[in-house]
Every structure is written in structure tokens, then in C-alpha cells.
Amino acid sequence: MKDAAPRPILLSEYRAPDWRVEALELDFDLDPDATRVQSRLRVRRTAEAAPDAPLRLHGRDLERLRLEVNGVAPAGEALVEDAEGLLLHGLPDAAEIVIETRVHPAANTALEGLYASGGNLCTQCEPEGFRRITYFPDRPDVLTRYTVRLEADAARYPVLLANGNRVAAGALAGGRHYAVWEDPFPKPSYLFALVAGDLACRSQRFVTRSGREVALEVYVEHHNQDRCDHALASLARAMRYDEEAFGREYDLDVYMIVAVDDFNMGAMENKGLNLFNAKYVLASPDSATDDDYVHIESVIAHEYFHNWSGNRVTCRDWFQLSLKEGLTVFRDQEFTTDCTLFGVKRIDDVQRLRAFQFPEDAGPLAHPVRPDRYTEINNFYTLTVYEKGAEVIRMLRTLIGREAFRQGLDLYFERFDGQAVTTDDFVAVMAEAAGRDLSLFQRWYRQAGTPRVRARSAFDAAAGELRIDLHQHTPPTPGEADKQPLHIPLRMALLGGDGAALSGRLGAAPEAREWVLELTGAEQSFRLTGLREAPVAISWLRGFSAPVLLDAGQDATELAYIATFDDDAFTRWDAMQELLRRAVIARVQGAGDTSQDDPGQRADTGQSHTGQSHTGQSHTGQSHTGERHTDEGHTEPADPAQGGYGQRSTDTTGTGQADTALETLIREAMAALLQNTVEPVVLATLLELPAHRELLEAFEHADPVAVYAARQAVERAVFGPLADSLLQQQAALAGVDDGAFTATAMGSRRLLNRILALRVALEAPGAVVDAARQYQQARSQTLRMGALEALNDADTRQRTELLAEFEQHNRNDALVLDKWFGLEAGSQIPGGLERLERLLEHPGFRWSNPNRVRAVLGPFMAHNHRHFHQADGAGYQQIAGYLERLDALNPQTAAALARPLTRWRRLDPVRSARMREALERLAARDGLSRDLADVIQRALADS
Ligand SMILES: [Zn+2]
């Protein structure tokens, strides 16, 4: 491998920079083949630095044309060149350094640094792309003010953008022109950006709450001008929300968003000049689904919120990545909850967390929210840093209360404005605002792994008292054998005989109907007193108050009661998920007994972590916030000390004996829900089975094809007899294709698509014809995609015809064509491997476009179980071959897509050996990137 076992970077070795950069002037002479970059930086040695401390300038793959210190080229020992870049020795305490480099944007397929996308030039600098543009102290704790001059051919690049405010522009001889941009706010190099291109601009004015006028501008290719309205409106909504909910106001005269076709991530929050994957900007009802609309709004908001949580207050080093990402994901989740999706947002977020982050936390790539070592920082843009990081912030708010949390945030932004800080700084400010000791809570940042919490209770009718015993335990993760207890908030309520919450007291607190138990030790007991009747059911972990696996020992009847009556949408959904999960496990084990209902068995408990969303969006496995990398699951053996969980094995065919009593109970509960007036969006979530990838987590060694078959069998057993009810519901939903983007309208369309998919899967009479009709008559992409997804695993004439029509119709629309690629790659109808080959030969396929590559390889691995997990290992080998090819062009995307291959330890013996072979063969290749090599080495470690 290229960088054989590079030395890891350790948090414990962090040292503050020896040099400050007082000002930076950049001058770009832009050209796709050879761009000349002149950098002029004024540096000053810090008071704390040793008098002989050298200046480190990072640089990678740069052609150096000139280097001068105070007008003189350093010679001899004054200049040392190494793998990281340059070291300048013997500098005076202050100096002016001029560096000229040449870079080659058109040849840059890694899409880090300055590169060409379509006919345009753009940059991606986070985390370490700036060193591919010029030599610089490329670390987040070196902040300075930037002045940037861009010069280019005026016809080819009429638009020249950089961070901050434009202070000058004009024409030059020879058909060239220039623009000068100044950013008044000091920033680290990872937030630098420039764009040069022939782009259309859609804009609107925004007046901040203090009366400042800001121009909001969205730049896209000319033919996409009519697809920007939603992005602009979302931006304005996010800006207003940040003022109202978090007291944060925008600070420049202009806020620009540029849509880029070739982009490794979802979007990038460069100061005042966000660069976006086009997928998270462009939308029209004819091209984008409801989910696309929601994701765009959420990613736009996320990047905007970074202006404070990330840009004004930034990270000291990359170990602190969650300082900005966890907090900003939390902020975007709040925005989507309050403005768009309401209750169902929490369910969607928990689904993602359980389906992607929990497996990560239990696998070979597990790491704390604040890691303490890395080899390749690109591989740490993970679900743990982002989603679990957001859960940590949410727990903090639960523990200290909304008011103290808001005061703490205000204090944080005020105290650290313009600085680069740490997660410890963040928690310290919160502790100060709340007047609480949060040192135990900080373990959430330092310790990897998903805690398991066991809850047991006993009711004393005479005393009107419920005793609750809690126990917590976190299994070992790579490099961390012994785990400490965490500070866990468990929100709970008690349901009485009429389904309503009972009131009672926790300790000396006033009477209430909901309580937060603070578990801080390995074992702890609580008492709820003043209860006037025996609880029929306990509503645990309301709103998913902590990212834990809960074993509450509830039997099926209690879960069904919660699914029917609980007023907490999350807990209600979670109870139904757990019932369905138990039914699938029973089928896989072929053990049709009722031991699944024994509350003493870990196997039965509330560990229902579920899976992918209901639409094509999930096919990429990419997060809604989009910044995050494509991520697939990977796990390793669960802790043997923990009883049933992770101890099963799937040696049966997967369609073995059912737990008929359990399936009947679920069916009756579903039948009641279908008759009741449950909100459509809530009903849609209740009708979903736990995702395949989430179900795999229940087994120590899973046969993915058998688990898939068992899941299908449960779906048929539960819903088959309800076909008439489903049809009635479907009929009642006619007319939801009305173009409204309200929560109610979107929820109804989600329900309609779910029912259609169920009916096709059940082979209900007329279902395929109904799906074809829905496709033909659809006015929205939501219903069109719903029909195609419903048909996608049905080997029918209608599927063939409609997919061909869809491809034909959208051939020139990259984002919609990605959906077609995803459907074809993810379909389990026969011939999957050959179809995959053909997709890569399609005239629209480009290895250089990350969206397209993800659209094909992602769904194949995530949904095409039959072919990816083919017992002869052909699916694994084929993917490994593609990854090698992709790695030569784009290491970052290759490493992200390699993650499904890291879960080999958790498969049945035959597949486990085949997947490991594929990984080992890949590992033996010459010239693998550091990104891909790092993922593979960690996956194979200690094996
Ligand atoms: Zn972010």
C-alpha cells in the first residue's frame, strides 16, 4: 500500500500552534489545466513558542514555483521538505512569506482542494484540502483574515466567488476579468472556498431581526434555474428559525449557495459561500420526492446553522469534529421537527441511528464521539461523530432543562466567538449555566460503544409504589476493554387501564405524569410513589431520551398496549417495531414457541433498532444531512456476557415455524390501527417492518438471505389477512397527490406508498396493476417513485416497462437518473450481478461522479441481499473489484463505500469466509489510498 501503516495522529500529542497567521492574501490565476496560486502571509511567532520553533506549512501534491521569506528564498537548513510539506527554520519573530504554486484542477479526481466539476472550478477544503492548493499551516486552530483575488477568462468563467464580501471587480485585457473578496471574520483554512463558472443566480433579500439586509443567492447551471425556489425558501426559513429559536443572526452582506455536480459529501459550510452537492439544492415537484424536499431543507438549514456552530466558533483540532457537527445536527433536527415533520422526525432519526450508528458502535470501526486517535481523518466523518454527537447534545438538554440549555448556548457563542475550542469547553459552559457538575456526563464523548440498560420494576399495590431497578453495561469496543458507567437520562411514564398516563412522584419532586430517571452508576434503584392504580404498561425511553439498547423485559401484550395507546409517537412506534422484530427472529430460529415473550430473556427486549427510510433516498445509505459520508453497517460479535442478544445463529431457512400467537397479536393490533383514526404519517411508520440491516444485528452470525426471507414471511403472515383493509385505506387516500408540502399531505403520500408496496409484496389481487396506474397517473415524483419502489422486487412485465420508460424519460436529468440507477441496482429479481455490470456500461455512468457511483453501488449492497450476499461470494468479489478501481480516482468515496464489506465477522461461516477473502485480496493490492487502506486494515485487525 502507498502509505504502509502511517503513524496515527493522537489527541494526547496536541500542541498549540507556534505561529499565528496575521493576514493572508491569495491571488488565483484560474485555469482548469494549470492554475497559478500566489499566497502572501504575514506570520508571527506566539509568545509561548520556543525561540527556535520552526514554521510548519502543510502541502500535498503541489508544484512549487517560488518561496520567499521577507523577499529572500530560504536555502540550506532553513528549508526542510518532508511528507507533510515544508518546515521553515531560523525565521525572525515576524515575517512575510510569499509562495507561488501551480495546481491542476482538471486532473484532480479526488475532489479535494481545487477541482473541476462540469465546466466550473470549485474547492473542497475540509478537512485537509487547503494543503492541495497552497502551502499553509492547514489546521483548524490557525485562524486568519482572508483577502482573495480571482482572475479568469471572462467568457468561460463569468462568475467569480469567494468567502466574505466582494470589494472590487472589473475587466482586464485579453478577455479576462477579476474579483476581489474580503472576509472580515477570521477563519481556519478548511472554511476557505472559491467558485469560478458560468452559472445562473437566483436571489432574494432577507432582513435580519436587527434590520440588516442580506442578499441570498443560489448559483446553479442555467438549465436548473427553475429548481431553486425550494432551496431559497428553505434558507430564509432556517435564518429566521435560528434567530427565533437560538438567537443567532447572520453577519455578512451576502449568503451564497453553489450547486456542484461532482461532490464527495452532501454540502460544505464555507463562510458565506456554501458548496452543495446539486442533489441537496435542486428540486421541482416533477423531479424531487417529498423526502428530497425535506432533505434539501434540512441540509440547507444544517449548513446555515454552521455559520455560528462551526464557523464563528470552530474546532481546535479534528478530534473535536463533533463540537460543530453534533451540535449542528441537533440544531437541524430541531428545525425540521418544529417547522416540517413534527413528531415523526424523531422516529426517522432514531431509525437512522439504530440502523447505521449502532452497528458502527459495535463493529471494527467503533470510536468515541470525540476520538483520541486517527490515521485518516476523512474516515471520521461518521454517524458516531454526527448522529450520536447530536444525541449527546439532546441528552444534555434533557438533563439541564431547556432554559439552562439555551443560556448555556448563548454563553458558549459569546465566550468563544472567533476561537477554536473543544468539546470539553462546550460541556464546561453548559455546566456553568446549569450550575451542575457534568464531569460524569463527559464520558459520553470519550467512550465508544452503545450502552445496554436493563430495567425491571415491581408494583406494591398497598403502598401505591413502583420500584424500578436499573442496570447499565457497555460491551468492549476495539482498543477499549473496560467501560465506565455513563450518565443516562431515561424518560418514562406509566399507562393506566384507560390508556392514559398515571400521576405520581419521583423523590421529593412535585406530582407529575412523566419522569426523567438519571442513571449514573452501574446499578441504581428508583421509587415512584403516590400511584393510585397499578400501571398496565410502562412507557420507557420516551422520545428516545438516550442512545441505548434497552431491555425492559416487556411481554407482547404490554407492547401491544403501548402501540395502541401511548401518546408518545416514538414509544408507540418502538413497541410495534419490537413486536415485529421478535416475530422475524422467531421465524429465523424456526422455534415457534412463546419463549420470545419471556421477559427474563434478553432476546425479547426493546432493542428494536430499525432501518432504512421508506423511499429511494435511503438507497444511497447517505445521511439526510448529506455532509456525512455514505455509510453502511459493520459489526462484530456482541458481548457474550449479555445473554440472548447477539447469540443467535441463522442456520435455518428463515421461513421456519412461526410464532403464530405473536403474529396473531400483531395482526390484531394492526387491524385495529387500520380502523382507527391514526394520523396517516404515524400509521405509515407503524406499518413498517424493522429494516433488514437492523434485523441482522440481532444475530451473532446471520445468513442475510434467510433473514430477508423471514422478514417477508412475517410481512405476509401479519398483513395477508388484512388485504381488504389495506385496499380500503388505499382508496381513502385518493387525492393526496395535490402538490401540497404540508406534514399532513406528505404523511398521506407516505402512507399511500407504504400500502401499495405492502399489497404488491403480498401479491394481492390487482396490486401490480394499481402500482402501474399510480405511476402513469402520478403528478408528483413521490407517487411515481412509490410505484416503482413497490414494483422493484416483483419480476413482472409492468416493472420492466415502467423502469424502461422512466430511464428514457429522465436520461438527461442526472438527479432523477440516479434514482433509476438505484432501483436497478437494488432490485432482487434474478440476474443481479449481470445487471450491475450492465449499469456500469450505461452511457450515463461515470466513475468520476460520486453521486452516480453511490447510486449504483450503495443500493446494490444495501438492498440486493440475494446477489450481494450470494453464497459463492461473487457479489463481494465484484464489489471489491469496483472499489479498487474507484480508489484510484477518488479515495474518500471508495473508503466510504467499502464499509459494508467490514461486517464479515457477523455473517454465517460460509459468507464470512467469502467476504473476508474479498477484503484480503483487496488489501493485498498495490497503491491503495490511505483512506481505503485504513478502513480495510481496521476491518481485518485482530482476525
Ligand atoms: Zn455539518
Residues 329/293, Cβ–Cβ less than 8 Å: no
Query: For residues 289 and 161, what is the distance between their CA atoms, to the nearest angstrom?
Result: 31
The residues near 15 (Cβ < 8 Å, ≥ 6 apart) are: none
First-to-last alpha carbon distance for the chain, in angstroms, is 19
Q: Record the cell numbers describing residue 328, joined without a space.
A: 449542528
Q: Record the cell numbers describing residue 260, joined without a space.
A: 456542484
Span from the CA of 904 to the centroid of ligand 1 (angstroms)? 30
Higher pLDDT, 612 or 333: 333
How far CA 735 is from CA of 684, 774, 777, 785, in Å, comes to 17, 11, 11, 17
Mean pLDDT of 479-487: 96
Higher pLDDT, 854 or 597: 854
Q: Residue 626: pLDDT above 70? A: no
Query: For residues 393 and 391, what is the distance between their CA atoms, to the nearest angstrom?
Result: 5
Q: Record the cell numbers describing residue 613, joined without a space.
A: 427510510
- Residue whose C-alpha is closest to residue 362's, from 352, 354, 370, 350: 354
pLDDT tens digits, residue range 708-722? 999 999 999 999 999
- Residue whose C-alpha is closest to residue 335's, from 293, 301, 310, 291: 301
Residue type, 631: D
Q: What does the pLDDT read at residue 776?
A: 97
Residue 895 three-state SS: helix
Mean pLDDT of 531-540: 97
Span from the CA of 124 to the centroid of ligand 1 (angstroms)? 14
Residues 539/494, Cβ–Cβ less than 8 Å: yes
Residue type, 378: N
The residues near 72 (Cβ < 8 Å, ≥ 6 apart) are: none
DSSP 8-state code for residue 319 = G
Q: Where are the alpha helices (DSSP H) in 50-186?
A: none
Residues 260/117, Cβ–Cβ less than 8 Å: yes
Residues 101/135, Cβ–Cβ less than 8 Å: yes
Q: Residue 183: pLDDT above 90? A: yes
The residues near 4 (Cβ < 8 Å, ≥ 6 apart) are: none
Indicate the average pLDDT of the chain: 92
CA dihedral 820, 822, 826, 831 (to 10 degrees): 60
Residues 114/258, Cβ–Cβ less than 8 Å: no
Higher pLDDT, 628 or 610: 628
Query: Lowest mean pLDDT: which of 573-577, 675-679, 779-783?
Result: 675-679
DSSP 8-state code for residue 702 = B
Q: What does the pLDDT read at residue 485?
A: 98
pLDDT tens digits, residue range 395-404? 999 999 999 9
Q: What does the pLDDT read at residue 649?
A: 52
Mean pLDDT of 486-510: 96
Q: What does the pLDDT read at residue 601?
A: 34
Query: For residues 651 and 703, what is the distance between their CA atoms, to the nearest angstrom?
Result: 7
pLDDT tens digits, residue range 345-401? 999 999 999 999 999 999 999 999 999 999 999 999 999 999 999 999 999 999 999
pLDDT tens digits, residue range 300-346? 999 999 999 999 999 999 999 999 999 999 999 999 999 998 889 99
Span from the CA of 301 to the centroid of ligand 1 (angstroms)? 10
Spell out where 474-625 has E strands: 488-495, 505-506, 515-519, 523-529, 537-539, 549-551
- Residue whose C-alpha is closest to residue 103's, from 26, 34, 31, 27: 34
Span from the CA of 574 to the centroid of ligand 1 (angstroms)? 28
Span from the CA of 324 to the centroid of ligand 1 (angstroms)? 7
Which pLDDT band holds residue 942 (cuts at 50, 70, 90)?
Answer: confident
Q: What does the pLDDT read at residue 613?
A: 32
Query: For residues 642 and 474, what is the distance between their CA atoms, to the nearest angstrom?
Result: 10
Query: For residues 549 and 453, what is the distance between their CA atoms, to the nearest angstrom?
Result: 6
Active site residues: 303
Span from the CA of 876 to the centroid of ligand 1 (angstroms)? 32
The neighbourhood of ligand 1, an ion, using CB within 5 A, equals: 325, 328, 627
Q: Annotate 391-405 with b (16+ C-beta within 10 A) or e (fewer).
A: bbbbbbbbbbeeebb
Q: What does the pLDDT read at residue 656?
A: 66
Query: For residues 52 and 807, what is the distance between their CA atoms, to the nearest angstrom?
Result: 64
Q: What does the pLDDT read at residue 655?
A: 57
Which pLDDT band holds residue 759 (cuts at 50, 70, 90)?
Answer: very high
Contacts from 827-830 at CB under 8 Å and sequence distance 24+? 827/792, 827/793, 827/799, 827/863, 827/864, 828/793, 828/863, 828/864, 828/865, 828/866, 828/867, 829/793, 829/794, 829/795, 829/799, 830/795
Span from the CA of 306 to the centroid of ligand 1 (angstroms)? 7
Query: For residues 660 and 662, what is the distance between their CA atoms, to the nearest angstrom?
Result: 5
Which pLDDT band holds residue 740 (cuts at 50, 70, 90)?
Answer: confident
Query: For residues 635 and 360, what is the distance between their CA atoms, to the nearest angstrom?
Result: 6
Q: Residue 111: pLDDT above 90? A: yes
CA torsion sign for 305, 306, 307, 313 is: positive
DSSP percent split of the chain into helix, strand, coil, nearest 5: 45, 20, 35
Q: Residue 608: pLDDT above 50? A: no
Residue 578 three-state SS: helix
Query: For residues 288 and 365, what is the distance between their CA atoms, to the nearest angstrom?
Result: 34
- Residue whose C-alpha is closest to residue 650's, from 259, 912, 890, 380: 912
How far CA 847 is from CA of 134, 227, 861, 919, 933, in Å, comes to 27, 26, 17, 21, 20
Mean pLDDT of 572-601: 73
Span from the CA of 381 to the centroid of ligand 1 (angstroms)? 9
User: 555, exposed or middle or buried, with CB in 10 Å at 0-12, 13-18, 19+?
Assistant: middle
Percent of the chain with pLDDT over 90: 89
Mean pLDDT of 541-568: 96
Residues 579/556, Cβ–Cβ less than 8 Å: yes
User: 360, exposed or middle or buried, with CB in 10 Å at 0-12, 13-18, 19+?
Assistant: buried
The residues near 894 (Cβ < 8 Å, ≥ 6 apart) are: 883, 886, 887, 929, 931, 932
Mean pLDDT of 663-671: 96
Span from the CA of 695 to the centroid of ligand 1 (angstroms)? 29
Q: Residue 599: pLDDT above 80? A: no
Query: Lowest mean pLDDT: which of 56-60, 109-113, 693-697?
Result: 693-697
19-29 and 144-153 as β-strands: parallel, antiparallel, unpaired? Answer: parallel
Q: Annotate 411-434 with b (16+ C-beta within 10 A) or e (fewer).
A: ebbeebeeebbbbbbbbbbbbbbb
Q: Residue 631: pLDDT above 50? A: no
pLDDT tens digits, residue range 267-313? 999 999 999 999 999 999 899 999 999 999 999 999 999 999 999 99
